[in-house]
Amino acid sequence: MAYYYYNSINKMVTIIFFLVLVIDVTMVFGQGTRVGFYSSTCPRAESIVQSTVKSHFQSDPTVAPGLLRMHFHDCFVQGCDGSILISGDGTERTAPPNTLLRGYEVIDDAKQQIEAVCPGVVSCADILALAARDSVLVTKGLTWSVPTGRRDGRVSRASDASNLPGFTESVDAQKQKFAAKGLNTQDLVTLVGGHTIGTSACQFFSYRLYNFNSTGGPDPSIDATFLPQLQALCPQNGDGSKRVALDSGSVNNFDTSYFSNLRNGRGILESDQKLWTDDSTKVFVQRYLGLRGVLGLRFAFEFGRSMVKMSNIEVLTGTDGEIRKVCSAFN
């Protein structure tokens, strides 16, 4: 009886929090976008995107973290305008931080299906924002309401991607880049928490395992019992393209184990592990872990809030931009 009561209360709290989040999204983060933007002009848009993400995920689970990263990389460069999707020489997707992104075929597939029923209505930028949300859902995370109404940008330059946060950067440098986009320190920790799903190539962290900062030894922040495992996966002068889970032990589950790994010195990227060693970000990691003595936060809920904030960065709405016919090319 007590178990049933606990679960009933838990479900009720979840429903109330979700409703609050929907109200938050609609009232606070409007900026020309709104929940249900296509409810009359293309009512099947969101369900088409969701079913497409689910279908591709079932055959290739790597598309989920790929789409989540792609949305992040899109929003941090000229805003959430789908410019990351444009193919061709010198475009954003050819910039060094973007060359290993994956999931473009999912967006193209969803766009093609939507164009068949609602031609010229739904933007590629919105499809990407919805696909990012659905990528969390298929990896067992919570859903959230995505405000839509973005329009697609007409510019995509590789040189503009230089302001993306880097994997070697200090927390202060990361905070400055997030603040420039209207995102605070909690948003930083929350959004980087998206690394709870997906992998990284050895080339982006193997320098931590051997001669870190020319010290002749490994990064001291790496757990001593974890180091041999990483060295076995990424041997010195080995294959830099080999993929390693960013969240050891929970690569395809959207949960808080990523934060537990940071606490235990098992963060893969240098910039990730610094979230634990820097006091300004460590407190939010502790709150997501519910450690004694700190006010707890629910990561699953807060991630949706921060994603909504991020997805409204410098959006094009109204008559700005365009609605692309094909996501990989300007009209």
Known binding positions for Ca(2+): 74, 77, 79, 81, 83, 92, 196, 247, 255
> Residue positions in the annotated binding site?
74, 77, 79, 81, 83, 92, 165, 195-196, 247, 255
SS3 annotation, the chain: CHHHHHHHHHHHHHHHHHHHHHHHHHHHCCCCCECCCCCCCCCCHHHHHHHHHHHHHHHCCCHHHHHHHHHHHHHCCCCCCCHHHCCCCCCHHHCHHHCCCCCHHHHHHHHHHHHHHCCCCCCHHHHHHHHHHHHHHHCCCCCCCCCECCEECCCCCHHHHHHCCCCCCCHHHHHHHHHCCCCCHHHHHHHHHHHHCCEEEHHHCHHHCCCHHHCCCCCCCCCCCCHHHHHHHCCCCCCCCCEEECCCCCCCCCCCHHHHHHHCCCCCCHHHHHHHHCHHHHHHHHHHHCCCCCCCCCHHHHHHHHHHHHCCCCCECCCCCECCCCCCCCC
Q: How far apart are CA 62 and CA 100, in angstroms?
A: 12
Q: How wide is the angle at C-alpha 172 spanned by C-alphas 189 and 218, nearest 5°?
A: 85
Q: How far apart are CA 266 and CA 221, in angstroms?
A: 8
Decide: 68 and 106 in contact? Cβ < 8 Å.
no
Give 322's strand partners.
Answer: 152
- 73 catalytically annotated: yes
> Residue positions in the annotated binding site for heme b?
195
Q: Which of 56, 69, 71, 73 is catalytic?
A: 73
Decide: 187 and 177 in contact? Cβ < 8 Å.
no
CB atoms within 10 A of CB 74: 30
> Residue positions in the annotated binding site for substrate?
165
> Which residues belong to the active site?
73
